[in-house]
């Protein structure tokens, strides 16, 4: 006898770790390039000294720090082991078997997985021609089975950001019993006027998701948070796997919030590099949509696998999305230069179909 496993899980690909090798330039995961600040390291070391104790399951100190930072009430905040677990918990609190979750596609790869694992059904709405959310089509996709809508702003992997006005008119048109998750993992890199924390205040069905993994540089420590009406926050607590936000994660997040000015100032450098990289790629002949995040997207279509492979051969790891495109994280200037040097080679241009006449 073999163990009975849910047959539908067969359609979820088993996790395949990205390729890595010594000396590789890692531009595949939207990480920051710098390690934690000394004060954050100290807080982590102190937390490690008490590692024999369970963490505070309610993350009281972190929730209070977040609430005062965001100017909301502690009852509006939930912490998670990365915001990806909060995505999963949102499906769990909203969906029964067969209920529908709407999101744009391409978008964050976790959405289809957490939806299916939660016994719900994905309704994927194609991006617009310029790689942004098609909010009208998303509204049109709402049915009486819709329970949750993810809006990834700026969108991963395409970088496109929605404006406040676009989001407001969308939110005003969504039935109030449908939960809308504004996934703002890259909020700190965006200079759009859309700020979920402003939008959720008058809308009890809006949840804002943010993370310490990207601009705050704590991807390896795993902590993110949700901001919403207390009713949603209480429900998230019910499905939360106990103690998944470790004491180390809580301490690191609190120390990082205390250093927010210094950490957020770094986003200016990333944005300057993003602008420089995008211009250089366009000059080299690539199509590059405008990005409001710490990455750029190259819609190479069926040429994507070959281009990603050539980039890996050149020692630079980027992320490939099937036969749609590739995403390159903005790294340090010398790393970006290495990618640009590759992108200007004949090998890369040939892989990208540049200069090829039909
Ligand atoms: C990186 C990312 C997250 C969250 O990452 P965690 O490390 O789990 O906090 C959430 N949404 C999007 C779109 C992301 O790219």
Identify the pLDDT of residue 14.
84
148 and 181 Cβ atoms separated by less than 8 Å: yes
65 and 59 Cβ atoms separated by less than 8 Å: no
Identify the pLDDT of residue 349.
97
- Give me the tens of pLDDT residue by residue for the chain, a chain 358 residues long: 789 999 999 999 887 777 788 999 999 999 999 999 999 999 999 999 999 999 999 999 999 999 999 999 999 999 999 999 999 999 999 999 999 999 999 999 999 999 999 999 999 999 999 999 999 999 999 999 999 999 999 999 999 999 999 999 999 999 999 999 999 999 999 999 999 999 999 999 999 999 999 999 999 999 999 999 999 999 999 999 999 999 999 999 999 999 999 999 999 999 999 999 999 999 999 999 999 999 999 999 999 999 999 999 999 999 999 999 999 999 999 999 999 999 999 999 999 999 865 5
Residue of minimum CA distance from atom 2 in ligand 1: 185
Query: What's the CA-to-centroid distance between 310 and ligand 1, angstroms?
Result: 27
Written as six digits, the tokens of 30 are 């939207």
Query: What's the CA-to-centroid distance between 211 and ligand 1, angstroms?
Result: 7
| DSSP string computed for 12-44 | SPPP-PPP--TT-EE-SS---SS---HHHHHHH
Residue of minimum CA distance from atom 11 in ligand 1: 185
Main-chain dihedrals φ then ψ at residue 261, nearest 5 degrees: -60, -45
**Three-class DSSP labels, 287-345:** CCCCCCCCEEEECCHHHHHHHHHHHHHCCEECEEECCCEEEEECCCHHHHHHHHHHHCC
User: What CA–CA distances, in Å, run from 165 to 162, 208, 229?
Assistant: 8, 17, 22
Cis geometry, peptide bond prior to residue 106 (ω within 30 degrees of 0): yes
Atom of ligand 1 nearest to the CA of 211: 9
Query: What's the CA-to-centroid distance between 214 and ligand 1, angstroms?
Result: 8
Identify the pLDDT of residue 357.
58
Do the strands 121-126 and 100-105 form a parallel or antiparallel pair, or are they unpaired?
parallel
320 and 304 Cβ atoms separated by less than 8 Å: yes
Query: What's the CA-to-centroid distance between 3 and ligand 1, angstroms?
Result: 32
Atom of ligand 1 nearest to the CA of 83: 9
First to last CA, the chain: 57
Residue of minimum CA distance from atom 12 in ligand 1: 185
Identify the pLDDT of residue 16.
75
Residue of minimum CA distance from atom 1 in ligand 1: 185
Look up the pTM and report it: 0.97
Distance between CA atoms of residues 151 and 203, nearest Å = 15
Query: What's the CA-to-centroid distance between 27 and ligand 1, angstroms?
Result: 16
From the DSSP assignment, how many helices (H) and strands (E) are in the chain? 13, 12
**Which residue among 29, 80, 88, 108 is best mutated to probe the pocket of ligand 1, counting the most ligand atoms within 8 A of its Cβ?**
108
């Amino acid at each position: 006898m073999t163990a009975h496993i849910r047959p539908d899980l067969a359609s979820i690909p088993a996790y395949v770790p990205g390729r890595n090798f010594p000396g590789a330039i890692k531009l595949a995961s939207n990480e920051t390039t710098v390690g934690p600040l000394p004060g954050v390291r100290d807080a982590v070391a102190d937390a490690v000294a008490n590692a024999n104790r369970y963490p505070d399951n309610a993350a009281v100190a972190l929730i209070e720090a977040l609430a005062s930072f965001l100017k909301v009430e502690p009852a509006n905040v939930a912490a998670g082991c990365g915001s990806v677990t909060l995505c999963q918990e949102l499906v769990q609190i909203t969906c029964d078997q067969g209920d529908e979750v709407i999101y744009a596609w391409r978008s964050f790869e976790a959405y289809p997985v957490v939806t299916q694992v939660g016994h719900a059904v994905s309704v994927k709405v194609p991006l617009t021609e310029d790689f942004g959310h098609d909010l009208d089509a998303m509204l049109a996709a709402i049915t009486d089975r819709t329970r949750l809508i993810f809006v990834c702003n700026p969108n991963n992997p395409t970088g496109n950001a929605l404006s406040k006005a676009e989001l407001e008119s969308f939110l005003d048109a969504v039935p109030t019993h449908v939960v809308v998750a504004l996934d703002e993992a890259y909020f700190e890199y965006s200079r759009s006027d859309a700020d979920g924390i402003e939008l959720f205040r008058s809308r009890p069905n809006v949840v804002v998701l943010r993370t310490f993994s990207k601009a705050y540089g704590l991807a390896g420590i795993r902590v993110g948070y949700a901001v919403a009406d207390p009713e949603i926050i209480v429900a998230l607590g019910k499905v939360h796997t106990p103690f998944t936000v470790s004491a180390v994660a809580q301490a690191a997040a609190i120390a990082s919030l205390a250093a927010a000015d210094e950490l957020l100032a770094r986003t200016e450098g990333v944005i300057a590099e993003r602008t420089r990289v995008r211009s250089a790629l366009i000059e080299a002949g690539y199509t590059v949509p405008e990005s409001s995040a710490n990455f750029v997207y190259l819609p190479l279509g069926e040429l994507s696998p070959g281009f990603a492979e050539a980039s890996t051969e050149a020692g630079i790891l980027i992320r490939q999305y099937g036969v749609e495109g590739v995403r390159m994280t903005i790294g340090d200037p010398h790393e970006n230069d290495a990618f640009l040097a590759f992108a200007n080679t004949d090998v890369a241009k040939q892989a990208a179909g540049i200069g090829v006449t039909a």
